[in-house]
Structures are given as structure tokens and as C-alpha cells.
Amino acid sequence: MTDFTARYLSDYQVSNFSIATVDLTFELADTATIVTSTMAIKRENKNAKQLVLDGEQLKLVSLQINQQDLPESYYQVSDTQLALDISADEFILTIVTEIDPLNNTSLEGLFKSGGAFCTQCEAEGFRRITYYLDRPDVMSTFSTKVIADKKSYPYLLSNGNKTAAGDLPQGKHFTCWQDPHPKPCYLFAVVAGDFDLLEGSFTTQDKRNVALEIFVDKGNLPKAHHAMASLKKSMLWDEETFGLVYDLDIYMIVAVDFFNMGAMENKGLNVFNSKFVLADNESATDTDFFNIEAVIGHEYFHNWTGNRVTCRDWFQLSLKEGLTVFRDQQFSADMHSAPVNRIKNVRLLRSKQFAEDAGPMAHPIRPEKVLEMNNFYTLTVYEKGAEVIRMINTLLGAAKFRKGMDLYFARFDGMAVTCDDFINAMSDASGVDLVLFKAWYHQSGTPILSVEEGFSNEQYQLTLTQTNPSQKDGSEGKALHIPVAIELIENNKVIRRQLLELTSEQQTWTFDNFVEKPVLAVLADFSAPVKLSINQTDQELATVMAFADDEFCRWDAGQQLMLNYIKALIDDSSFALPNSLLTTYQAIFDANTDNAFKAEQLSLPSFDEVVAEIAQVDPIKVVNAIAAVKLFLVTGLTASFEKTFIDNKASAYKYSGEEVGQRALKNVCLSYLSLLEQQQSKVVEQYQSSDNMTDTLAALACSADNNLVDLAGQLQHFEQKWHSTALVMDKWFSLAAQQCSTNIFSSLDRLLAHPLFSLKNPNRARSLVGNFSVNNPRYFHCQSGQGYQFLAEQIALLNEINPQVASRLITPLIQFRSFDLPRQKLMRAELEKLTTLKNLSKDLKEKLDAALA
């Protein structure tokens, strides 16, 4: 029987025991791997009697204290723990366990990905390898010996530096590793397999040579170069930006096909979903190239923000994740266009994080109650967490922020600390008062920032009001410290720029010496993660679009304008859109801005962004309204879309800023044009002539979204060409699931039965099941409820196979309160069915309980 007891932040207690060193030996075998753990343990709390170690799915083989077998009466084993009665205060504990990696489909602990063994220990997977104090504040020095068959597993890897290697009888061999940096067990990793190895090196600013090694499946070596270049850029960037230098002689990355998430920052031995490593010009999109660099950066930056300074407990997860996402966002901004990156961050936040924060799993960036920790690797902890760090950066300014980071490392290097420790370092180093600011860490929900303007006697008045949603415990939302960056525009020129700090429910600022009421551009660079409530006329929005200095504001004014009309169409589908919209849109084409930015300006708010703005909305009305605005624009401005499409056809594929922007702009235009029958030959032509995955997929997406007659042939051709490239077939499954066709449910059944489909592979499951429920809203939300039923059925299967993946994919169902009552009823019914599953995992149980409460 699964233990459904929640844990609370307020219950934190320091560990009764410490583990100075741990020595692990792995004798790898598919279904019976033997793990021998030898730990030097010390009692830290004299009143503590029992030593209670965590352990799950383990077979206990033997147990010794100071090399003496421990009699059975001195210990008790349960499904989740090993409790030992030991009187000595310091002792050596040796535990031998047996585990079954081959049948471990949860992909937590030690498992097999294709032919290789690998591990995933964060958050609490190490307890599936051996009995241990599986908590981040227990830090130990690890040494590891890995033994396996030499022919099948020529590479045996673990954290730190290699200290010995050699052959053993019966065709086996071994390698020993020693990690000099004490670490919590969630950063432990072991990998064994037969790989191709890409080698590189990096010279640190203190002139040390670091060996860089990227391990990929045989045959994929040519696809690892972009990852290697990205790693070098990350290492240099962290030295130059934060003065942070790498601290081991070797940095390894292993790419695996079976992985629950993006990647994992294990000390010196990152394990990556191959999706964030492998790329070449034919098989990867511009977005893939971009994401690889970002994720490589993210994991690398964890070496300081996460590994050198780690979390005291899992409630503090945002300490390392929010900060590291902020760092990877800054890195991407420095490598590419800063405003376009900012826009992408904000789109993600508004479309997905706002929904999470308004749904049943809403939690503060530092959660207070957790049943299954894996459920808290969320957009809130990561993305909103990064916004909170960004606000500190905004309030302090870059120079003082850097001083704060320096102090943070000076104080806490080698320690496991809390979010409060971080804020205090920032505040102490800068002299900036962050007491009120801390509320961002314990309050959930998206604040609404309302803006009222007044003008009289040459004086402009700006009143900002914040409304914070009530909390889960019923308490009212309190006022937060919100940085609001503004610009005031007069005569088409920005004449004032200011950072306002809203620290109470309502504040008014006055600005003197204006002849006329200025036009306001608010939340420059999206200075706070809030929803904006403001009434600006079309004329004002057009002024901001054209004349604000801040590019985010220019883009956002266009989004606001479009959103207003999408809302009008949702209210009344016969609403007549004004021709002035065409003039405003034409101005986007005519402006002298870069292509990537233009592409973002021309892209309408997404389905999720619109849903986040309207209570209990009919999802089909949202789909229709967005489509109607799009059709209106392309009908009115066909020539501009067509010209821009043609002007931006690039020659041979290259991944460079200029060309990425051109392709993005061209493909946005194609997506508009594909709504017009007489333009649809362009889609076919692009599919046939494309030499790169970005353009191929853009054409396919047009075919799928409009259910064009050529779709079937294109999908067939694509499948034939790419059937043996897993990452590309993921894209194929995604597109097929996105087909906007009444036949979609029979297509989905065929896709599930496809020889290349398996729910055991998370990337595959996400591409088919995930993409259908997120990117095919017309059919996912169809009135019959078939879409919801399809998702629920797959989740039921995944509950047994891989609870983490099941729990991620259930997101669109638990957010049912965003939709109209008939949908709510249908979605609830599916959730209720799921509650009756036998062997319901903690992961799903926590979400179902929250959703149905």
C-alpha cells in the first residue's frame, strides 16, 4: 500500500546522522544488479536512537556494522525504509542490495535506456539504488567502482575523476571514480554503455585544462558538435559574467533516449535527454539548436548554483532552479537577441505558468506541502522562480546583483541552504531592503496589476493597484513588492523612463510638466510576472507599438490589441473587425525592425494565452476567434504576407541569427497564407523544396492545422525518410496528432498501434499524447468528450509504466476550471475514473486530490 502522507516545510529538522564518505560498487546486470555501499556514519544528535534510511524497490542482501553481520533483531525493513538500532556513535555501515534496472520503466534510480545503464536520482531516486539518507542536506564524499561486461559496456562512468581501471575475469572490466566535492546523493550518477565519444577541451581563466567529453549513441557523433560548442560558450560566459570557474578536470555529458525530463546536472557527469544534445542541419530545427544551447548552459550553470551551493530541503528547489533558469535566460539573451528571448520567456509564462498558478496545483515558488516531490518540478518553481530572481536583479541593478551573488558564494560554498539565505545575501550585499519582497516566496497565484491614469493641470497621474488571489488555506493574498518599469511617450517620443516600486495595495505617482496626457508604456521588459489590467485605446496601443523604446512594450501593445479583438469575437462571433487593424498590422511589415522580432509581432496570442484571460471560456470559441482574426488579417494584407514570405526565402540552410530570423518571419507568413486556398500551393512547394527541418516542419504544420489534402502524402514521405531517426520521428508523431480533422480519433488509434510507438519512451508519449492534448484544442476539447477520454486512457496506462510522465501529461485535464461548465463536467468525469485506478501512484494521487477537492 502506497504511503500517501504529505510532508511540510514547517516540519524540517536537521539530520540526526551524517555520512562523511560513501563508497559504492556496482556489479551491473540487467535484472539483478548488485550494489555494495560502505558508509562512514556519525550520530550528530545524541538523543537519536534509530538510524532510519530511505529505500524503495530494493532487495536487501546483507548488512554489516564495522564488518560484522548485524543480527536481524537490530533492524526492520519496510517498503520505504530501513531502520537500524545501533549504539555506536561512529561506525562503518555496509549494505548490499539487489536491483532490477531492466524492468525499471519509471526511469528513476538505475534503469536501462536502450543498451546503456544510467541513473536519475533527483529528487528522490537514489533510494531506489541503495538505502541512504536521501535528502539534499546530507552531503558526502563519493567514490564509485563500476563493474560490467567489457564488450557491451566499454565505458563505465561516474562523478569526479577516474582513479583506476582494469580487466576482470569472465570478460568483465571495472573503472573507479572519486568525486572530491562532497555532495548530496541526488547529484550522484553512474552510466555504462557503448558510445561514440566526442572529445574537446576548455582552458579556464586560471589556465587549467578541462577535458570535455560528450557520449552519444553509436553513429551520432556528427550530431554532437553543436552541443560541444554550446558547452564551451557556457563555460566562458559563466567566467565572464559571474566569475564562476569550473572545478574538476573533466566534464562529461551522456545523451540517452529514455529520459523523463530535459537533463540532469549530476556533478561532472550530466545525463541528457538526447533531444537536448543531438542536432545536425538536416534533422534539427532552429528551435532545437537554440534549446540545446540553453539546456547545456542550464546544466552547466548548476555546477555553482545547485551543486557547489545546494538546497537544504526540496521545498527550496527554486533556490537552484529559479536562479539557474534566470542564468540560462541571461546567457541565451547574450548569445542571441535579448528582446526576442524575453518575449519567448513571457509567452511561456503567460500561456503555461499562469494556468498552473490559477489551477488546482497552484503553489508558491517555495511550496509548503508536498506529497510527491517530482510533481514540483514546475513552471512555477522554474519560470516564475526565474522571474522572481529577475525582479531582484531589476531592483538592485546589475552591479549590486553581482555583489549579491559573490556574497552568496562566499557565505555558502559547500553548503545546503535556503531561499531566505539567498535573499539575505542579496540584501546584505546591496543594502536594498528585501523584507517585503520575500512574500513572493510564500504566496501563490498571479497578481493583477490595474492601471488608472489621470491628467489635469499639466499633471499626469498614474495609480497602480495590485490584487492578489486568495491562498489555498483561505487567507487573503497580501500586497507584494512589485517593480513596475514605465515609459511616458509624448509627441511620439519617450520623454521619461522610471522604475516604480509598488509596495502596498495602491499607490499614485504624479508627473509634472506635460502639455497633453502622455501615452503610457508599462511593464518594460516585463518587469514583474503579473497580469495587466489597463484600458488603452487602439490609438494609444498603436503609439506604444511604434514609439516605445522598450521592445517588449512594443511587442506587448500589439498583443494587447489583438487580444482585445479576439475577446470581442469570443463574445460575439459576428463582431466586425475594424479596418484600422489592418493599418496597424501593415505598420509592422513596414517598420525597420529585425526579422525575428517581426515574426513575434505578427504571431497572435496563443490558445493558452487567451484562455488565461477569460473565465470559464468555451474553448471552441477561442479557437474560432483566433482563426477569424488571422483570416481577417491575411485577407486584408495578402500582398504584404506574400511579399514578406517570398523576400525571406533563404538559400542553403545555416544556423545563424540572421537566417533564423528570416525563417521565423517567412514561416509565420506561410502559416497565415495557408488559410487561403489560392495560396496553399506554397505549403506544398515549401515541403518539397526544403533542405532543413525548420521549413519542412513549418510546411507540415500548415498542412496539419488546416487539414490540407497533401497532409497524408507528406506524412508518409516524411515517415519513409526518417523512420530510423528517433528524434525526428517524435516530430512526426507530434504533427500527426495535431491534425485538425474529424478523423483524428481513428488516426490516434493507428498511431498508438504504430510499430515505432511506445508509452515506455517518454519523448514518444509526450509527442503523441502530449501534443494532441495541448496543440489540438479543437479536438481535445470536442463536445463529445472523446479527447478527454483519449488522454485519460493513456494516463491510466502510464500510471503503471511511468508515474512521472503520467503526472505531467494530466495537466490539461486538471485545469478544467478554466473552461465552460459542459467541459468541466466531462473532464471531471475522466478524473474521477482515474481516482479508482488500482496502484494509483503518489504523483497522480496528489494531482487528482487537488483537482477534485
Residues lying near ligand ARG in the complex (CB under 6 A) are found at 122-123, 261, 263-265, 298-299, 302, 321, 374, 377
Q: In angstroms, what is the minimal distance from the CB of 108 to ligand ARG?
A: 7
Q: Judging by beta carbons within 10 Å of its beta carbon (0-12, 13-18, 19+), is residue 428 exposed, middle or buried?
A: middle
Select which of 299, 383, 659, 830 is catalytic.
Answer: 299
Handedness of CA 593, 594, 600, 602 (dihedral sign): positive
Q: Which is nearer to ligand ARG, 381 or 548 (CB)?
A: 381
Q: Which is nearer to Zn ion, 324 or 378 (CB)?
A: 324
Q: In angstroms, what is the minimal distance from the CB of 265 to ligand ARG?
A: 5
Q: In angstroms, what is the minimal distance from the CB of 480 to ligand ARG?
A: 26
Separation of alpha carbons 841 and 839, rounded Å: 6
Distances (CA, A) of 671 to 390, 563, 638: 34, 19, 12
Strand stretches in 128-171, DSSP E: 141-149, 155-158, 161-168
Which pairs from 573-579 meet CB under 8 Å and 24+ separation? 573/621, 573/624, 573/625, 573/628, 577/628, 577/629, 577/632, 578/538, 579/636
Q: In angstroms, what is the minimal distance from the CB of 572 to ligand ARG?
A: 44
Site string for Zn ion, 531-550 (x = CB under 5 A): --------------------
- Note if the bond before 123 is cis, omega within 30 degrees: yes
- Side-chain-side CA neighbours of residue 224 (13 Å): 25
Choices 316-324, 521-529, 619-627, 820-828; region in contact with Zn ion by CB under 5 A? 316-324
In the structure grid, which three cell numbers stand for residue 519, read together?
501615452
Of 319-338, binders to Zn ion (CB under 5 A) are 321, 324
Select the residue whose beta carbon is closest to ligand ARG and give its number.
377
- In the residue annotation, 299 being an active-site residue is answered as yes
- The distance in angstroms from the start CA to the end CA of the chain is 22
Q: Which is nearer to Zn ion, 321 or 846 (CB)?
A: 321
Residue 446 interacting partner from Zn ion, ligand ARG, none (CB closer than 5 to 8 Å by kind)? none
DSSP state of 83: E
Cβ–Cβ < 8 Å for 795, 834: yes
Regarding beta strands 90-99 and 59-65, do their DSSP bridges make them parallel or antiparallel, or are they unpaired? antiparallel
Residue 123 interacting partner from ligand ARG, Zn ion, none (CB closer than 5 to 8 Å by kind)? ligand ARG
Three-state SS at 680:
coil
Residue 102 interacting partner from ligand ARG, Zn ion, none (CB closer than 5 to 8 Å by kind)? none
Residue 137 interacting partner from ligand ARG, Zn ion, none (CB closer than 5 to 8 Å by kind)? none
In the structure grid, which three cell numbers stand for residue 338, read together?
535579448
Residue 122 interacting partner from ligand ARG, Zn ion, none (CB closer than 5 to 8 Å by kind)? ligand ARG
Q: In angstroms, what is the minimal distance from the CB of 806 to ligand ARG?
A: 13
Q: Which is nearer to Zn ion, 324 or 671 (CB)?
A: 324
Residue 328 interacting partner from ligand ARG, Zn ion, none (CB closer than 5 to 8 Å by kind)? none
Separation of alpha carbons 447 and 740, rounded Å: 35
Q: Which is nearer to Zn ion, 328 or 846 (CB)?
A: 328
Regarding beta strands 17-27 and 33-43, do their DSSP bridges make them parallel or antiparallel, or are they unpaired? antiparallel
Question: What are φ and ψ of residue 628, in 5° steps?
Answer: -70, -40
Q: In angstroms, what is the minimal distance from the CB of 264 to ligand ARG?
A: 5
Q: In angstroms, what is the minimal distance from the CB of 299 to Zn ion?
A: 7
Question: What are φ and ψ of residue 730, in 5° steps?
Answer: -60, -40
Residue 730 interacting partner from ligand ARG, Zn ion, none (CB closer than 5 to 8 Å by kind)? none
In the structure grid, which three cell numbers stand for residue 659, read together?
537566417
Separation of alpha carbons 358 and 851, rounded Å: 12
Q: Which is nearer to ligand ARG, 265 or 695 (CB)?
A: 265
Separation of alpha carbons 763 and 338, rounded Å: 29
Q: Which is nearer to ligand ARG, 378 or 680 (CB)?
A: 378
Residue 540 interacting partner from Zn ion, ligand ARG, none (CB closer than 5 to 8 Å by kind)? none
C-beta atoms surrounding 41 within 10 Å: 24
Q: Which is nearer to ligand ARG, 154 or 262 (CB)?
A: 262
Handedness of CA 824, 828, 830, 831 (dihedral sign): positive
Q: In angstroms, what is the minimal distance from the CB of 246 to ligand ARG?
A: 17
Q: Which residues bind Zn ion (CB under 5 A)?
A: 321, 324
Give the residue numbers annotated as catalytic, written as ranges. 299
